[in-house]
Structure 1
Amino acid sequence: MREEGDAELVANDVRLVGRLSAAPAVVELPSGDTLMTFRISVERSARAGSPAARGSAQRVDSVPCTAWASRLRRSVATWRVGDIVEVEGAVRCRFYQAGGATRSRVEVEATSGRLMRRSPAA
């Protein structure tokens, strides 16, 4: 139960800066809603105490992201694999039906995003 003043202590705010690792894809849901999915590869922090600092072999995380707002979807559609991008949003756990089973997916629901550096032309 939330107490007075808790809003200052809890937050679900995410900021990622990384490389677009796959081309953005348009997904149309059974409800008729449209969203854009994409993945950003981000290097793990080497801060003291983090797995990367303790010698973990994994140095990069591939983070699934979604864009629901039409303006953001149009922007993301122009991004190319290898571009350095910045995304802000929140972590979401989404539940859906597939193959007769309920499944879940954790992703970053982007509320804003921008191209920081274009990848060299292929």
Structure 2
Amino acid sequence: MSTQESQDLGEVNEVTLVGRMSQPAEEQVLPSGSELWKFRVIVGRPPSPASRVTVDTLDCVVWAKRPARSVSKWQTGDLVEVKGSLRRRFFAPAGGGRVSRCEVEVAAARLIRRAGG
């Protein structure tokens, strides 16, 4: 199925998160030379009788330069908003084998409020 066919069917892969930074973003240079920034956003969950878990900690990755400049300045506890798409990325970590990870590929990012502010 083409991208256009998916859009015609109303399929959507859009993610918006508003939450707190778990720690500062980390820059990573891949063996290919590509650069990315990785971080986690902590988002509260609504109460549920099915689970005692009160937060989700979600992996985010930034490939584009513009949002990378923003996230590189964020600190632990900052309240942030990220927009992007959910992606499943496959890679081979040191030590062999192939693994996959689901993460939000960030297209836009903004600081809402500094921690403690």
User: Which amino acid counterpart does residue 104 of structure 1 have in structure 2?
Assistant: S
Q: TM-score if structure 2 supplies the norm length? A: 0.89
- In the alignment, what sits opposite 1:54? 49
- In the alignment, what sits opposite 1:49? none
Where does the alignment leave 5 or more consecutive residues of structure 2 unmatched? none
Between the two proteins, the alignment pairs up a number of residues equal to 114
- In the alignment, what sits opposite 1:63? 58
State the 1:63 CA deviation. Answer: 0.3
Are residue 75 (structure 1) and residue 76 (structure 2) matched? no
- 4+ aligned runs moved over 6 Å, structure 1: none
RMSD: 1.7
Distance 2:35 2:42 in 1: 23
User: Which amino acid counterpart does residue 94 of structure 1 have in structure 2?
Assistant: R
Identity of aligned residues (%): 42
Q: Secondary structure at the match of 1:75?
A: helix
Are residue 84 (structure 1) and residue 55 (structure 2) matched? no
State the 1:9 CA deviation. Answer: 1.9
1:26/1:6 CA distance change after superposition, 3 Å:
closer
Q: Secondary structure at the match of 1:23?
A: coil
CA deviations over 1:17-76 (Å, ceiling 9, x no partner): 0000111100000000000001000011x3xxxxx4224110100000011111211111
Q: Secondary structure at the match of 1:101?
A: coil
Question: Where do residues 36-55 of structure 1 align in structure 2 (5 Å cutoff)?
Answer: 36-44=37-45, 46=46, 52-55=47-50
- In the alignment, what sits opposite 1:27? 28
Task: Write 1 or 2 for the structure with the bigger share of strand.
Answer: 1
Q: Secondary structure at the match of 1:11?
A: coil
State the 1:6 CA deviation. Answer: 4.5
Q: Secondary structure at the match of 1:57?
A: coil
